[in-house]
Chains A and B, each alone.
Chain A
Amino acid sequence: MAERLFYGALFILTLGYLYFAFVTIKAPIQYDPLGPETWPRLLGLLMAVALAIRLVRPSGVAPDVARKTIIRLAVVAGFLLLYAILFQRLGFILSTWGFCSAVTWLLGTRPVKAVIFGAVVSTVTFFVFTDLLDLNLPGGLLEFLD
């Protein structure tokens, strides 16, 4: 079921991909015989055929993922998204502190330990990356540390 659903979703995306390849992508002057549209057309058609075959005859994988696991993964994905949004606004140290603490806590560490772990990781990695390796990381609210 999950497999067919996946192929179905990809199939719809491929139809959209093909629509653009056949309708909108066009060069005003022909530079080369194929132009920018032929390659996407070939790929899209091949993909549509491959997906159609597997839609009719799926390979029969049925991943069994427990509801609990899915929820846990969704929460982690949410943490990641929040981390991405706050990365620049709060700066590396604060956002990383929050992210590391949240994930270790979610995976079964006691809250106090998780907060300490996040604090150590975020400050140590910040100075290793910016001072030692000279990489560019956002200072955010703690900009004055630079």
Chain B
Amino acid sequence: METVLSGLAGGFGVALHPFNLFLVLVGCFGGTLIGALPGIGPTNGVAILLPIAYGLGLPVESALILLAGIYYGAEYGGRISSILLNVPGDSGAVMTTLDGHPMAVNGEAGRALSLSAVASFIGGTFAVVLMSVFGPLLASYAISFSPADYVALMVFAFASLASLVGKDPLKTLIAALIGLMLATVGIDASTGIKRYDFGIPDILAGIDFLVVIIGLFGIGELLHLVEQQVTGRMSLLKLDKSFVSKADLLLTKWTIARGSVIGFFVGILPGTGASVASAVAYGTEKRLARDSEKFGTGDPRGLAAPESANNAAAGGAMVPMLTLGIPGSGTTAMLLGALLLFNVQPGPLMFQQRPEIAWGLIASMYIGNVALLVINLPLVGLFARMLTIPPRYLTPLIGVLAFVGVYAVIGNTFDLKLAIGLGIFGWILRKLDFQLAPVILGFVLGSLFENNLRRALSMSGGDWSILLESFDSQALYVLTALTIVIPVIVGRRRLRMAAQKQ
């Protein structure tokens, strides 16, 4: 507990520095703005702004504070387009539309927006508090992890990714393998051997991480927006004067509490982010409610549950990223990649060696959550006006931001073309129902995975049984087996029950 308090004190010393405080506010404001734009979610927002934030030449902790602010700010802003437009910015906001949009249709848009702001605040703050306690604990446990244990941890991460994300585990595996294979391009760090560079000097050092995220999430999103505008129109609901009441908060207090707990712990699991968390929280509330038929018609509980859960999950997903160096979602994978760009290897040692980054980030999230609530309640009208920007003006802007980011950091046009290619590829993947988060997770973890495997086998002189030697690895492989087997059993039982009913 003492380490937590002294760590937090040091963290607040970093986060309350006027410049960093300014960055928290800019990040939160900008994140909400981006999140509120129709169709652009936290993942795309962070992807598009990450290279620019990196190009600013900020110190590591400041850059990370800014990016994290954009991340949970966008998680916050995402609810605005879900409620008023019925268009979720990303998969984490889908559940918000179920009751949030009907509330707006019933003329309670203001009430829905303010209630969800409060639910988001409580979920987010709860996650940061747990993060400050669990983070150092997990880090001090993981400090003894050997390379073989890391291999086990990553097998577990990819297994839970495959069984929890999307409908088809095999497709998630293919997506992760695409990322892992892309990561093998370029010079092998431990032997200096060239791999898959095809004589192109620009990729000799590997495909740049920024190019991959700008391509898949920036250019890919641009193409997706173009497609949407050709196929259909969206209708925007007006913001009204209604506001959250004390009775609403009393009605939803346990819903918010449960949503926060569910969100945080689901968020910690590797690969599962806000989307799974909000779906689980919504499902739980619906099952617990005696009058569950009200859900989906504009019930405040159906709004508070996913909103508290997806913000808590955003915090929970940061825990494995900071303490183990294994991200819990696509967006935290990007934050991890950003740290790697600064030559900081996140992991258990970061709390001791770079406390200003780990604790500074955590402290900034306390401030950021308060700031988000304060700017969101009065300024929601301003953010809602973002929705009236016609997408035909927005679309080219994404392309401009993407190009500026790539060019400002890397400075050549080959990478721009590579980003376009990856963007088209990403659009095809989305059309075929592939998730993009596993691709980015595979790409970011690729070299870490390979290096740990090779280090483990160097230690054993080529004997593969070293992978199963320690207790930690064995426990992780058991967990891996469970995450694969349990969904299969549950799925079969559900099928059988459905068959019996008929």
Complex contact B403–A65 (CB within 8 A): no
Give the segment of B37-45, B184-192, B201-209, B477-485 that binds chain A: B184-192
A contact residues around B173 at 8 Å (CB): 46, 50
Complex contact A36–B397 (CB within 8 A): no
Give the segment of B1-9, B226-234, B298-306 that binds chain A: B226-234
Closest to B463 in A: A33
Q: How many A-B residue pairs have CB under 8 A?
A: 175
Interface flags, B438-479, vs A, CB<8A=1, else 0? 000000000000100111011001100000000000000000
- Selected from A2, A39, A68, the residue in CB contact (under 8 A) with B454 is A39
The total of chain B residues at the interface (CB under 8 A) is 61
B contact residues around A141 at 8 Å (CB): none
Interface flags, A119-146, vs B, CB<8A=1, else 0? 0011001000100011111100000000
A contact residues around B427 at 8 Å (CB): 73
Complex contact A104–B457 (CB within 8 A): no
The total of chain A residues at the interface (CB under 8 A) is 66
- Selected from B195, B391, B411, B458, the residue in CB contact (under 8 A) with A25 is B195
Complex contact A107–B226 (CB within 8 A): yes
Known: A39-B454, A63-B432, A129-B404. A108 touches B181 (CB 8 A): no
Question: In angstroms, how far is the closest chain A Cβ from the Cβ of B435?
Answer: 13
Complex contact A34–B457 (CB within 8 A): yes
Indicate if B392 sits at the interface (CB-CB under 8 A).
yes
- Selected from A27, A51, A85, A102, the residue in CB contact (under 8 A) with B174 is A51
- Selected from B181, B195, B391, the residue in CB contact (under 8 A) with A36 is B195
Q: How far is the CA of A61 from the CA of B431 in the complex (A)?
A: 9
Closest to B196 in A: A20
Complex contact B181–A43 (CB within 8 A): yes
Complex contact A129–B408 (CB within 8 A): yes
- Selected from B168, B393, B454, B462, the residue in CB contact (under 8 A) with A104 is B393
Q: How far is the CA of A77 from the CA of B231 in the complex (A)?
A: 18
Complex contact A77–B174 (CB within 8 A): no
Give the segment of B88-96, B339-347, B416-424 that binds chain A: B416-424
User: Which has the most chain B C-beta neighbours within 10 Å: A20, A135, A137?
Assistant: A135
- Selected from A20, A33, A35, A72, the residue in CB contact (under 8 A) with B230 is A72
Q: How far is the CA of A137 from the CA of B57 in the complex (A)?
A: 15
Complex contact B403–A54 (CB within 8 A): no
Question: In angstroms, how far is the closest chain A Cβ from the Cβ of B228?
Answer: 10
Q: How far is the CA of A138 from the CA of B413 in the complex (A)?
A: 11
Q: How far is the CA of A34 from the CA of B178 in the complex (A)?
A: 21
B contact residues around A68 at 8 Å (CB): 230
B contact residues around A65 at 8 Å (CB): 227, 431
Complex contact A63–B431 (CB within 8 A): yes
Q: How far is the CA of A46 from the CA of B193 in the complex (A)?
A: 23
B contact residues around A88 at 8 Å (CB): 413
Complex contact A36–B188 (CB within 8 A): yes
- Selected from B56, B223, B227, B432, the residue in CB contact (under 8 A) with A2 is B432
24 CB < 8 A contacts A-B = A2-B432, A32-B454, A36-B193, A40-B196, A43-B177, A43-B180, A46-B177, A61-B432, A69-B227, A72-B230, A73-B226, A73-B427, A77-B420, A80-B423, A87-B413, A100-B400, A104-B392, A107-B392, A109-B392, A133-B52, A133-B55, A134-B56, A136-B55, A136-B411
Known interface pairs A99-B396, A135-B52; 6 further A-B residue pairs with C-beta atoms within 8 A, sorted by A's residue number: A35-B191, A76-B222, A81-B417, A100-B400, A136-B55, A136-B407
Q: A residues within 8 Å of B by Cβ?
A: 2-3, 6, 10, 17, 20, 25-27, 31-36, 38-40, 43-44, 46-47, 50-51, 53-54, 59, 61, 63, 65-66, 68-69, 72-73, 76-77, 80-81, 83-85, 87-88, 92, 96, 99-100, 102-104, 107-109, 117-118, 121-122, 125, 129, 133-138
